[in-house]
């Protein structure tokens, strides 16, 4: 449909085209940013870049799936409302879209709007860079790494790897068939939990393990935790984009609620409970090295799930490893978890700003994956489990612990942007 606006005007420079054609391009750019997981601040900034290049003023209202905007050129105005089918994340596409918008004003006098629409066609068709089996391996590796960072041993990590990989495969296949959010989330979590429990029982039977591995099954479904909407929603709230921020936070809460209830239901059905991990004796030096290495692996895996390129995932992994290692060290020396989370996110944001001139990636594509591993999925699950079991005091305690950490993470990124980005710290 986009070329219906421009097919009769393919030789006219974009800056000289009629307003409805310009508005169509501006709206499509905003919609593609939304579909790739960008927050309202990033979407609005991209639409403004394109608008300025076309000599148009644009005012937009942005949600998690939709954008309503008005373009003004002289005395003429054009208003439109556009919407995506669903919310998603694609960091590689975000990078291409940023490159499209940077320097757009210089190209708007040389290319037609139809040329620009074809460029966006190419970006839109880029799709996913990885096959399903590669994404499943990435999800398994990320969740297994997360399990170690929470205190799991080798058996829990192995069970978590296979359970998370199969659960992610189920979710991806259902998403490809456009199965609704609640159904695909519940099916993925059920798959992960049942596979994990089956593997634990098999290990116990075959190798006569006396230790209790049931605590680790929560890690097998952490790939469904919507870290991107949680973090970008917090950033939107900091910029007073209340509509987008509240929609993203609500979306995240819904997913977490469905996942936690499904996991709690499975635990109750099979008589599992969220007990603590056993204590393992690892030499301090080895523990520190494993923390750093598996923090890198966890962030790298989540970045691949978000469709980051290998280079982008490596940069995010390095930043995430440094930030998460610092957070865990602060917790070890007695720092409050909230302060440690804020410091880790702040450090991730500062490192992203430092590396950005060298790698050229948008900050959001490396900062958000680098702190997703800090989202307290275990706390969220424990809160839901105890509440569903009628223990409101314990459930409320775990929920409060989770909420203050979730609030601290985007705040860390926000203050990093305030310190390093003049455009962000100016109210607009």
Residue with tokens 């909230």: 338
Residue 70: the pLDDT is 95
Characterize the bridge pairing of strands 57-62 and 66-73: antiparallel
Domain identity same for 246 and 384: yes
Q: Residue 78 pairs with which residues in a beta bridge?
A: 71
So what's the pLDDT on residue 115? 87
Of residues 101 and 281, the one with the higher pLDDT is: 101
Burial class for 23, CB neighbours closer than 10 Å (0-12, 13-18, 19+): buried
With contact defined as beta carbons under 8 Å apart, do 193 and 370 qualify? no
pLDDT at residue 210 above 60?
no
Q: 179 with 116, same domain?
A: no
DSSP of 129-152: SS-HHHHHHHHHHHHHHHHHHTT-
Say if residue 254 is in the same domain as residue 183. Answer: yes
Give the pTM.
0.86
Mean model confidence pLDDT for the chain: 86
Q: Is the pLDDT of residue 150 over 60?
A: yes
pLDDT at 214: 60
* Number of domains comprising the chain: 2
Using DSSP, state whether 334 is helix, strand or coil: coil
Structure tokens at 302: 């989540």
* % of the chain surpassing 70 pLDDT: 93
Q: Does residue 155 share a domain with residue 57?
A: no
Position 377 scores a pLDDT of 74
Q: Does 273 score more than 70 pLDDT?
A: no
Look at the block and give the residue holding tokens 């919507």. Answer: 226
User: Which tokens sit at 220?
Assistant: 């097998």
The string of pLDDT tens digits covering residues 157-187 is: 888 899 999 999 999 999 889 888 899 999 9
Residues 80 and 173 occupy one common structural domain: no
User: What is the domain range of residue 87?
Assistant: 2-124
HSE-CB of 365 using CA atoms within 13 angstroms: 27
Question: Between the CA of residue 13 and those of 9, 97, 107, 112, what are the distances in Å?
Answer: 9, 21, 9, 4
Domain end: 73, 89, 124, which one? 124
For 291-348, how does the pLDDT look when each residue is reduced to its tens digit (9 = 90+)? 899 999 999 998 999 888 888 889 999 999 999 999 999 998 989 989 999 999 999 9
pLDDT given for residue 213 in this prediction: 60
Residue 53 clears pLDDT 70, i.e. is over it: yes
Supply the pLDDT for residue 59.
93
- Euclidean distance between CA atoms 309 and 303, whole angstroms: 8
pLDDT confidence tier of residue 423, bands split at 50, 70 and 90: confident
The verdict on 86 and 8 lying in the same domain is yes
What CA dihedral angle connects 338, 379, 256 and 168, to 10 degrees? 110
Averaged pLDDT, 359-381: 81
Q: Percent helix, strand, coil in the chain (nearest 5)? A: 70, 5, 25
Same domain, residue pair 179 and 229? yes
pLDDT at 10 over 80: no
Who's near 354: CB < 8 A, 6+ residues apart?
none
Tokens linked to 354: 């430092």
Tokens 């989202």, residue?
A: 375
Do 73 and 101 fall within a single domain?
A: yes
Residue 332's CB is within 10 A of a number of other CB atoms, namely: 12
Token pair for 215: 């605590």
Q: ∠ CA(126), CA(317), CA(34), 5° rounding?
A: 40
Query: Is 283's pLDDT higher than 90?
Result: no
Q: Does residue 260 sit in the same domain as residue 369?
A: yes
Domain finish residue from 124, 145, 175:
124
Give residue 30's pLDDT band: very low, low, confident or very high (50, 70, 90). Answer: very high
What pLDDT is recorded for position 351? Answer: 92
Coil, strand or helix at 354: helix
pLDDT of residue 275: 65
Contact 158, 386 (CB under 8 A): no
Q: Which of 68, 90, 124 is the last residue of a domain?
A: 124
Question: 37: pLDDT confidence band, cut at 50, 70 and 90?
Answer: confident
How far is it, in rounded angstroms, from Cα 346 to Cα 91? 21
Residues 6 or more apart from 237 whose CB is under 8 A from it?
245, 246, 249, 410
User: Is the model's pLDDT at 211 over the cut of 60?
Assistant: no
pLDDT of residue 402: 86
Residues 174 and 323 in one domain: yes
Lowest mean pLDDT among 10-19, 91-100, 137-146, 305-314: 10-19
For residues 335 and 196, membership in a common domain is answered with yes
Structure tokens at 383: 């809160």
For residues 25 and 152, membership in a common domain is answered with: no
Task: Tell me the pLDDT tens digit for each residue of 193-205.
Answer: 889 888 888 877 7
CA 130 to chain centre: 17
Residue 205 CB neighbour total at 10 angstroms: 9
């Amino acid at each position: 449909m986009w070329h219906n606006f421009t097919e009769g005007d393919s030789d006219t420079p974009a800056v000289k085209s009629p307003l409805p054609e310009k508005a169509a391009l501006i709206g499509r750019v905003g919609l593609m940013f939304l579909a790739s997981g960008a927050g309202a601040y990033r979407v609005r900034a991209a639409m403004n870049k394109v608008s300025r290049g076309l000599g148009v003023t644009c005012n937009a209202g942005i949600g998690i799936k939709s954008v309503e905007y008005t373009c003004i050129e002289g005395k003429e105005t054009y208003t439109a409302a556009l919407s995506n089918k669903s919310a998603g994340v694609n960091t590689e596409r975000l990078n291409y879209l940023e490159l499209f918008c940077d320097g757009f004003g210089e190209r708007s006098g040389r290319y037609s709007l139809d040329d620009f629409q074809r460029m966006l066609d190419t970006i839109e068709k880029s799709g996913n860079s990885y096959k399903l089996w590669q994404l499943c391996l990435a999800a398994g590796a990320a969740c297994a790494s997360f399990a170690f960072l929470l205190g799991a041993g080798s058996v829990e990590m192995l069970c978590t790897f296979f359970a998370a990989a199969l659960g992610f495969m189920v979710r991806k296949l259902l998403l490809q068939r456009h199965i609704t959010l609640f159904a695909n989330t519940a099916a993925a979590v059920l798959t992960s939990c049942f596979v994990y429990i089956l593997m634990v029982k098999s290990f116990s039977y075959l190798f006569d393990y006396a230790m209790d591995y049931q605590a680790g099954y929560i890690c097998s479904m952490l790939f469904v935790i919507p870290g991107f909407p949680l973090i970008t929603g917090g950033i939107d709230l900091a910029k007073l984009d209340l509509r987008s921020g509240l929609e993203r936070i609500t979306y995240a809460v819904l997913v977490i609620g469905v996942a936690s209830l499904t996991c709690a239901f499975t635990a109750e059905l099979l008589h599992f409970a969220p007990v603590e991990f056993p204590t393992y004796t690892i030499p301090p030096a080895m523990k520190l090295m494993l923390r750093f290495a598996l923090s890198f692996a966890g962030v790298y895996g989540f970045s691949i799930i978000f469709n980051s390129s290998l280079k982008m995932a490596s940069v995010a992994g390095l930043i995430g490893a440094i930030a998460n290692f610092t957070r865990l060290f602060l917790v070890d020396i007695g720092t409050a978890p909230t302060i440690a989370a804020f410091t880790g996110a702040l450090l991730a944001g500062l490192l992203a700003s430092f590396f950005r001139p060298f790698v050229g990636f948008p900050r959001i594509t490396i900062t958000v994956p680098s702190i997703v591993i800090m989202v307290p999925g275990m706390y969220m699950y424990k809160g839901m489990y105890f509440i569903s079991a009628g223990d409101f005091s314990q459930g409320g305690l775990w929920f409060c612990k989770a909420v203050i950490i979730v609030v601290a993470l985007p705040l860390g990124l926000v203050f990093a942007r305030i310190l390093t980005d003049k455009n962000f710290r100016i109210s607009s």
